[in-house]
Amino acid sequence: MLSPAIENLVAQLTRLPGVGTRTAHRLAFHLLRTPTDEALALAAALREAKERVRFCADCGNWTEEEICEICRDARRDRSVLCVVEQPADVMSLERTHEYRGLYHVLGGALSPLDGVDPEDLRMDDLFRRVDSNGIGEVVLATNPNTTGEATASFIADRLRGRVRVTRLASGLPVGGDLEYADEVTLGRALSGRREV
């Protein structure tokens, strides 16, 4: 029999993705054993993040300002917009240091089975941005899976004729040997081959 306070902590932890009851118990007991100021630092960080962080009014990325750093950066190319599903995808693309345009974070992908329709994503904002801001190219960087592909095709249909629309190539993992690539990936890379 646990105290109600512990039960409550466990219940809150269980709500996190990937955390089952057993892990929740382990985390709860760990937190109870750690010094008070350390444990409360977690609570404070959580509060601060929740209070300060919000979505960028332009692109939908996480930010502590009204407009995020990327959108404010005058050196970025404002004629290219890269559409991604999640803020985490922005981070991945930023790590490449290859992309100099702006982003648009949809907040997910179309998935009727999960109740996600176009109106549940930041679609209208996207179309508005494309219409008003002198954008010349939209790069579709949604995931190459069932929901990501449908999301890309929905956007491509809407933007056809209004702006240049491109899709991230799907291909081979770099550093891997052709010999060890799985056939589906290799087949996709083959059908997406380009002139050199």
Partner 1 sequence: MLAVGSNGAGKTNLLESLHVATQGFSPRTRSDAQLIRFGEAGALVAVTGEHRGSSVAVEVTLRPGEAKRARLNGASLRAAEELRTRLPTLVFTPDRLVIVKGGPAVRRAYFDRTLGRLFPSRAAMSADYASTLAQRNGALRRVAAGFSPRDALEPWTGRIAELGAALVSARSELVALLSPAFARAASALRLEDAELRYEGTAASPEELEARVEQDLARGSTGAGPHLHDIAIVAGERDLRSFGSQGEQRLAVLSLLLAEVDLLAERGSAPPLLLLDDVLSELDPERRAILAATIRRSGAQALLTATSAGALPVDPDVLIRVTPGQAVASA
How many residues are listed for the chain in this entry? 196
Q: Show the binding pattern over residues 67-106: x = contacts partner 1 (CB under 8 A), - = does not.
A: ----------------------------------------
Asked if residue 119 binds partner 1 (CB under 8 A), the reply is yes
Closest distance of CB 104 from Zn ion, Å: 9
In the list 14, 23, 149, 172, the residue contacting partner 1 (rule: CB under 8 A) is 149
Q: Is the dihedral of CA 32, 38, 42, 44 positive or negative?
A: positive
Sign of CA dihedral 55, 60, 62, 63: negative
Binding mask 156-185 for partner 1 (x = CB under 8 A): -x------------------------xxx-
Q: Which of 9, 28, 68, 84 binds Zn ion (CB under 5 A)?
A: 68
Q: Dig out the tokens for 134 from the structure.
A: 């002198």
Which tokens is 26 given? 């382990």
Candidate segments 7-15, 64-72, 133-141, 168-176, binder of Zn ion by CB under 5 A: 64-72
58 contacts which partner out of Zn ion, partner 1, none, CB within 5 to 8 A by kind? Zn ion
Taken in order 60, 152, 136, 75, is the CA torsion positive or negative?
positive
* Residue 107 sits in the site that holds partner 1 (CB under 8 A): no
Query: Which of 27/172 has CB closer to partner 1?
Result: 172
Q: Are 90 and 149 within 8 A, CB to CB? A: no
Which of 125, 157, 124, 128 has its CA nearest to residue 140? 157
56 binds, among partner 1, Zn ion, none (CB under 5 to 8 A by kind): Zn ion
- 56's tokens: 């960028």
* 105 DSSP β-pair partners: 84
Chain centroid to CA 192: 24
Q: Is 63 in the site for partner 1 (CB under 8 A)?
A: no
Q: Which residues bind partner 1 (CB under 8 A)?
A: 110-113, 115, 117-119, 146-147, 149-151, 153-154, 157, 182-184, 186-188, 190
